[in-house]
Amino acid sequence: MSAPPPPYSNPGNQPGHGQPGGPPGYGPPGGQPGYGPPGGQPGYGPPPPPAPYHQGQPGYGQPTTVIVTQPMMSPPMRESPVGMTCPNCQKQIITSTTYQTGTLTWVACLVLCLVGCDVGCCFIPFCISSCKDTVHSCPNCRTTLGKHNRM
Ligand SMILES: [Zn+2]
């Protein structure tokens, strides 16, 4: 009994098994596109960029800025224009002053009448701005910011 031919180790006898270049798509390296060649897999090879730690929670952990809103009559209104921040348009403005007939105007008129001035004289306070109330308004948005009452 001679050596029986091994059924598997016979080169060139069994095509498709052990023979390079035999069955296409199985044995030859590099013949499978998209699987074997390195770098041929887009979206997998390059490391993803480190995502920044995004803390997008507003109002949490941030120091709450307490905005002290100025009341309407906060600054002491005087006769002269005052510099302040307009609560309406939030601009730094110098108030424009206008004069309005106020209590003092009427009181002065009454006093003038009581002391015996003429009818025309008692209207003098209406012509004197210093006898009137000073109305401060924003020159930008025309909002009345305050009034300086003389009484
Ligand atoms: Zn304003």
Q: Sign of dihedral through CA atoms 104, 108, 113, 114?
A: positive
Structural domain for 97, as ranges: 83-148
The rounded distance, in Å, linking the Cα atoms of 126 and 145 is 23
Amino acid at 105: T
Whether 56 is in a domain gets the answer: no
The rounded distance, in Å, linking the Cα atoms of 72 and 143 is 11
pLDDT at residue 62, rounded to an integer: 59
Rounded to the nearest angstrom, the distance between the alpha carbon of 48 and the centre of ligand 1 is 52
Whether 142 is in a domain gets the answer: yes
Rounded to the nearest angstrom, the distance between the alpha carbon of 101 and the centre of ligand 1 is 23
Rounded to the nearest angstrom, the distance between the alpha carbon of 58 and the centre of ligand 1 is 30
The rounded distance, in Å, linking the Cα atoms of 83 and 14 is 102
Rounded to the nearest angstrom, the distance between the alpha carbon of 73 and the centre of ligand 1 is 14
Helical ranges in the chain per DSSP H: 103-114, 124-127
Whether 35 is in a domain gets the answer: no
pLDDT at residue 48, rounded to an integer: 58
- Total domains, the chain: 1
0.75 exceeded by pTM: no
Whether 111 is in a domain gets the answer: yes
Whether 99 is in a domain gets the answer: yes
